[in-house]
Amino acid sequence: MPVSEKNKLIGIDIGSHSIKIVEIDDTKKGMILKNFGMIELPQESIVEGSIKEVEIVSSALKNLLKNLKIKSKNVATSISGYSVIVKKITIPKKEEEDLERSIQGEAEQYIPFDINDVNLDFQIFPSGKEETEEEEKEELMDVLLVAAKKDIVEEYISLLHLTELNPMVLDIDAFALQNAFEISNHEQSGCHALVNIGAQQLTINVIKDGASIFTRDSSYGGSQITSELQKRLNIPFQEAEMVKLGAKPIETEKRPIIEEIFSSTITKWAQEVKRALDFVATTFIDIKVDNVLLSGGSSLIPGFSKYLGLETGLKIEMLNPFGNLEIKEKLFDAEYLNYHAAMAVISIGLALRSIGDR
């Protein structure tokens, strides 16, 4: 059902390399891209998902909102990394209100942090064909548990308040990625591994017939390559970033160093994805992953997609988040959008959220 415009939220993806903002209009005729923009952040203003330089990030965010002429204050943003835990647990059947009251006790044994240090949320899996016979007999139910460390949540809320915005939805990257996939024109049935590789974060969400069956965040990303180039070539981070993107010519004798850094890093990423998929294969023996859909700026590294295909034996495609969105030629340059599509994915997923979502 189309959501009325005034309930639609501004999607803000606060990545360690850049902030992305997307606004989507949900109309009777379909969804229309209303706004898209991004702004880079200085190195180390966000480290391992934690905001180190709140003033700097806030002023970058203010500038971007101003450039995009965004007036609405109601936003959806997301967090990721080691401070977020997503787990499917099986517990005795109970009503949602009862679970609301007892969730802390139920969750305690599954969370590696002090239960008082986390914000908890949950979603009851609809009972149905997935239910095993034992579950039926013993009156069990599956619950998706989401726990986020309070200090990280506080950091993001404070940043948004400082920027005079109202945080209405605090999502996690893995679910925003899933939402973006759901409105794309990629095949939905079957099993698809969504992989987002940014500057510091590698997020995996495996979707089977519309439901998430596995998520994982790892501390891998393009910054690893930039930092290594900085160290080995003894150049500033910004210059290393340009070398990485091929925007700065480099002496022939230094090329082998660069190639070695690229190949050793993308090997690690591909192995991490492979490990996750192996885990899925052993946990759900009757499920076969059909393909991998890539996104995130670092998925654009030349050769990565091909290498991941060899490592996993799967078909690797780029997730196109714009496929089902109407894009007004007058407002957007197609080339600009295409170039930034990989980085826009999470913010698109966030812009699909409405007030009242949890």
Ligand X SMILES: Nc1ncnc2c1ncn2[C@@H]1O[C@H](COP(=O)(O)OP(=O)(O)OP(=O)(O)O)[C@@H](O)[C@H]1O
State the binding string over 184-213 for Mg ion (x if CB under 5 A, else -): --------------x---------------
Stretch that binds ligand X, among 91-99, 141-149, 220-228, 306-314 (CB under 6 A): 220-228
What backbone phi and psi angles, to 5 degrees, belong to 120? -110, 145
The yes or no reply on residue 201 touching ligand X (CB under 6 A) is: yes
Distance, in Å, from the CA atom of 181 to the CA atom of 19, rounded to the nearest integer, reads 20
Query: H or E element: which one contains 131?
Result: none
User: CB under 5 to 8 A by kind: which of Mg ion, ligand X, none does 298 bind?
Assistant: ligand X
Give the closest residue to 88 by CA, choosing from 107, 72, 64.
107
Instruction: Rule CB under 6 A: say whether 300 interacts with ligand X.
Output: yes
Looking at 180-188, 197-205, 209-217, 310-318, which segment touches ligand X (CB under 6 A)?
197-205
* Backbone angles phi and psi of 320, in degrees to 5: -100, 105
Choose which of 148, 159, 343, 352 interacts with ligand X (CB under 6 A). Answer: 343
Report how far residue 305's alpha carbon sits from residue 288's, in angstroms, rounded to the nearest whole number. Answer: 20
Q: Which is nearer to ligand X, 79 or 143 (CB)?
A: 79
Using CB under 5 A as the binding rule, whether residue 11 contacts Mg ion is answered as no
Please name which of 297, 294, 300 lies closest in space to residue 320, comparing C-alpha atoms. 294
Query: For the chain, how big is the Rg over CA atoms in Å?
Result: 21
Q: Select from 82-90, 204-212, 237-245, 262-270 the region that touches ligand X (CB under 6 A).
A: 237-245
Between CA 144 and CA 103 the distance in angstroms is 11
Residue 167 contacts ligand X per CB under 6 A: no
Cα separation, 214 vs 339, in Å, equals: 29
272 forms part of the interface with ligand X (CB under 6 A): no
| Residue 199 binds ligand X, judged by CB under 6 A | yes
Q: Which does 200 bind (CB under 5 to 8 A by kind): ligand X, Mg ion, none?
A: ligand X
d(CA 70, CA 347) in angstroms, rounded, equals 15
Site of interaction with ligand X (CB under 6 A): 15-18, 198-201, 221-223, 241, 244-245, 296-298, 300-301, 343
Site of interaction with Mg ion (CB under 5 A): 15, 198
